[in-house]
Structure 1
């Protein structure tokens, strides 16, 4: 796996976005770097590893590691060869497979601790998605689009009936036991994302 300008994501665990993190010579993790775009008080902020190259008085990173939006950091570090980066003149060509593979292992651990859907329910959801995808192949496009929306209406009705009750029950447990970490772990989300998901479903209505 080579450098990517976007973060790393896995379906079902989007809030655990991964990226390449960097370390300075003293072992510290630097904050964002800022770029003056010449438009008054507007500054561009970046945490992309290739921007810590020491140019224009920016910090110089000496090594990289995997990092995740949940706060996880990889235990292994990989020396950055800035001569190689500058020679290729393309950060995407630089090998970041080490940090990525560690993040993948972290996501495997997150997935292993999250709740799994019953096999029959997971199969039903997969079949619904597959059948909806096949509607795109219908010759009568207007009719197909109408069927898609009708299916979405039925799905959202189910979600509006089930989601709020489940979210309120989890929120109640959270208030009693301070169980946000446990809820986040069960959902395979960061705590911030879990709170947002509970709030969303708790107040969801569909008419």
Structure 2
């Protein structure tokens, strides 16, 4: 049954109550819906009609109280059934070939399985090679960082030893200078005392030298 051009009569609906008196008059708005095509179930991708909103179907500018949505619901229901049939056919056509297909179809199915397995194995090997390559690169980076750290430590130790050697040499030079000054000071004091001892009031007997 096609829904193209479905229209409801625009005559008023009269309802009779308990005492045979009309209660309410509600004009019915004509509803025009597009026809739902019969979708042939196949493996190819088919375009399904868009889903309709039962509360706001196409062709109706203004919603009224007595708006009937039977056509829109039927449209959506037919659309759902067609999509379910297509999915069911796609699902069952997938496993029909290896069990009930011809020899060519079975061989084609096995070839696809082999190709899929080869692809998975190649992807796995490529991933493993990539992981090994990244690990080797990371190891090289760590080795280079370790080598740089060792060189920096050696340079620091060398600079420290050079600083300590210079510090030692400077201290030694300062100590030797101080010792030399002390010797000179003592020798000057000794000469001064000898000069003083030559005076008679201090060394009147001449015994002090």
TM-score interval (norm. to shorter): under 0.3
Report the TM-score when normalising by structure 2. 0.23
**Structure with greater helix percent:** 2
Question: Which gives a bigger RCO, structure 1 or 2 (Cα 8 Å, sep 6+)?
Answer: 1
Higher Cα Rg, which structure: 2
